Amino acid sequence: MRKVTKLMGISLLVLGLAACDGATKDSKAPADSAAASVPSGQQVSLLDGKLTFTLPNGLADQSDKLTNQPSNVHIYADGSNQRAVIVIVADKAAASDLETLAKRMEEQQRSRDANLQVITNKAVEINGASMRQLDTVITVAGQKAYSGVLLGMMPDGKQVTLQITLPADNQQQSQDVAAGVFNTVKIK
């Protein structure tokens, strides 16, 4: 359980860094929400092809630059680190279900922002795998960031967390981008 909490902490750290870095904006982000909802970036395949999804354009693998963890943490970010996708793979946490894990993540975010806005906290199913989706808007150092998280169990018992962090300047556009990525997730 400590390992899961530590890995969730890493994702919150990246979320905080993205929210605090207001110096640059990604000018390549699509202005049209319909275009934003269909990722056309790089196809990512992890866990020997058991987990796949498509990144939005402009994100590249930054795992070796932002973490010294072994291959259980994957970070894809743009040059400004305002847009990021973080994937954490961990051994199944004992006696914890997805709803409890989502609640803990929400509590961690709320401890950083008492005015946390929870948009979605619901059960979803992807390719027969039960998952939990938590979408929030958090404000850190005056900057708002949108966070979309999928928590789930892989068929082999591994726990996977896929978090998308985007600027919340245009919340609807951020939701559309996150939904577009989530719609490309495949679990085998």
Tell me, what's the pLDDT at 92?
A: 73
**Confidence bin at 158 (pLDDT 50/70/90):** confident
Phi, psi of 29 (to 5 degrees): -65, 135
Q: What pTM value is reported for the model?
A: 0.76
CA 181 to chain centre: 10
Give the span between the Cα atoms of 37 and 182, in whole angstroms. Answer: 10
Residues 2-25 have pLDDT tens digits of 443 344 444 444 444 444 343 333
What CATH number was assigned to the domain covering residues 2-23+40-187? 3.40.1000.10
Q: How far apart are CA 5 and CA 8, in angstroms?
A: 5
Give tens-digit pLDDT for 56-98.
989 988 887 765 555 588 999 998 888 999 999 888 765 568 8
**What's the average model confidence in pLDDT over 101-126?**
92
Which pLDDT value is given to residue 147?
A: 94
pLDDT average, residue stretch 43-64: 90
